[in-house]
Amino acid sequence: MAVSPAKFVREVRSEVTKVTWPTRRTTLITTGLVVAMAALTAIFFFVVDQVIGLGVRSLFGLGS
């Protein structure tokens, strides 16, 4: 299994040339979608946390 470092580097270069890399536009769109979904998820959990907190406060009579 052990091979020389030079052979390993040659094989890696060979495999890298076979990769289909995404275009800049595709990368930007995907990044935008990930950021948007992360923001929506954060907002969702914030709202859920506030609703649960309100329920707990009203249930136990805490706060003003």
Which residue is listed with tokens 């995404």? 22
One digit per residue, the tens of pLDDT, for the chain of length 64 reads 568 999 999 999 999 999 999 999 999 999 999 999 999 999 999 999 999 999 999 888 876 5
CA distances from 54 to 11, 39, 40, 45, 51 (A): 60, 22, 21, 14, 5
Residue 44 in tokens: 């969702």
Report the pLDDT value the prediction gives residue 13, as an integer from 0 to 100. 94
* Residue 31 belongs to some domain of the structure: yes
Q: What is the DSSP letter of 61?
A: T
Question: Is the pTM above the cut of 0.85?
Answer: no
* Residue 49 belongs to some domain of the structure: yes
Report the pLDDT value the prediction gives residue 22, as an integer from 0 to 100. 95
Report the pLDDT value the prediction gives residue 62, as an integer from 0 to 100. 73
CA distances from 6 to 3, 10, 13, 16 (A): 8, 6, 11, 15
* Residue 48 belongs to some domain of the structure: yes
Could you list the residue range(s) of the whole structural domain that residue 29 is in? Answer: 21-64
Number of domains, the chain: 1
Distance of CA 49 to the CA centre of its chain: 21
* Residue 57 belongs to some domain of the structure: yes
